[in-house]
């Protein structure tokens, strides 16, 4: 009898929210899985679902809310059907819809890595007590980070209305691939003026902007996607 093929890790990415954040995450995954031969890396399937309606508008204005979470569920199913063993939604705001998705498809919990829950757990292990959250209006409004961090006694410091408008400008600059020198200087000044010394990048666009800069001074920057890459590496060793 032919020996059964060993099951291998297949990473699935629900992307396109936006596309440059997805591209950045893919590049970082390759760095986390260095290989002398291409076939030593895990298979990675990307669904760059950029035609999906706005997640932020769905949350704030209830605009096409069901259409959004059904689109996310469709993408997850597509990846599972393609053989994905571990799935990442490369959009923090998209995690606001996971409760709705899991109610319909509870089995999807076995595949999806919850970025927010993972980040809160790792920050607790690091002994963090407070952190300033850079995120979309949708992520802030639903309190998914605030509540996840509170479970560990960590305080999330939220942007003011004025700061939130600035954050939206930086997010859109990445989505549109318009990271100018002016945007970089504005962002550096924005970070510098934040009183809290710890900054949480709760939007997957912001790491793209950070990596385009020489350095971020006077602050400790926490990128949840780093935790995700490490988690995927750990999971990969189990196959």
For residues 170, 173, 177, 182, the Cα torsion angle rounded to the nearest 10 degrees is -90
pTM: 0.94
Burial label, 217 (beta-carbon count in 10 A; 0-12, 13-18, 19+): exposed
What is the biggest distance separating any 2 CA atoms in the chain, rounded to whole angstroms? 67
Cα–Cα separations (whole angstroms), residue 43 to 67, 87, 229: 29, 12, 14
For residues 197, 152, 230, 199, the Cα torsion angle rounded to the nearest 10 degrees is -20
Tokens 């990128």 correspond to 223
Mind listing the pLDDT tens digit for each residue in 174-195?
999 999 999 999 999 999 999 9
Mind listing the pLDDT tens digit for each residue in 7-46?
799 999 999 999 999 999 999 999 999 888 888 899 999 9
Mind listing the pLDDT tens digit for each residue in 85-130?
999 999 999 999 999 999 999 999 999 999 999 999 999 999 999 9
Q: Who contacts 24 (Cβ-Cβ below 8 Å, separation ≥6)?
A: 204, 207, 208, 211
pLDDT at residue 195 in the model: 94
Report the helix count and the strand count for the chain, using DSSP H and E.
Answer: 11, 8
Mind listing the pLDDT tens digit for each residue in 150-169?
999 999 999 999 999 999 99
As a whole number of angstroms, the distance between CA 128 and CA 168 comes to 26
């Amino acid at each position: 009898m032919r020996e059964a093929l060993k099951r291998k890790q297949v990473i699935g990415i629900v992307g396109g929210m936006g596309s440059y954040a997805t591209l950045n995450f893919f590049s970082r995954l390759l760095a986390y899985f260095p290989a002398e031969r291409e076939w030593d890396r895990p298979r990675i399937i990307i669904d760059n679902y950029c035609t999906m309606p706005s997640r932020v508008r769905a949350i704030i204005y209830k605009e096409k809310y069901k259409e959004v979470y059904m689109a996310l569920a469709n993408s997850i199913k597509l990846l599972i059907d393609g053989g994905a063993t571990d799935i990442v939604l490369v959009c923090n705001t998209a995690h606001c819809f996971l409760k709705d998705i899991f109610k319909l498809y509870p089995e999807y919990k076995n595949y999806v890595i919850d970025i927010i829950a993972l980040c809160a757990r790792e920050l607790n292990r690091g002994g963090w007590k407070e952190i300033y959250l850079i995120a979309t209006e949708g992520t802030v409004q639903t309190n998914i980070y605030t509540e996840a961090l509170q479970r560990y006694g960590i305080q999330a410091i939220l942007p003011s209305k004025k700061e939130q408008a600035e954050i939206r400008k930086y997010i859109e600059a990445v989505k549109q691939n318009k990271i100018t020198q002016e945007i970089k200087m504005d962002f550096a000044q924005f970070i510098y003026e934040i009183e809290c010394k710890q900054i949480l990048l709760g939007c997957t666009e912001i790491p793209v902007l950070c990596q385009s800069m020489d350095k971020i001074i006077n602050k400790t920057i926490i990128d949840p996607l780093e935790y995700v890459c490490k988690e995927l590496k750990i999971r990969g060793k189990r196959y």
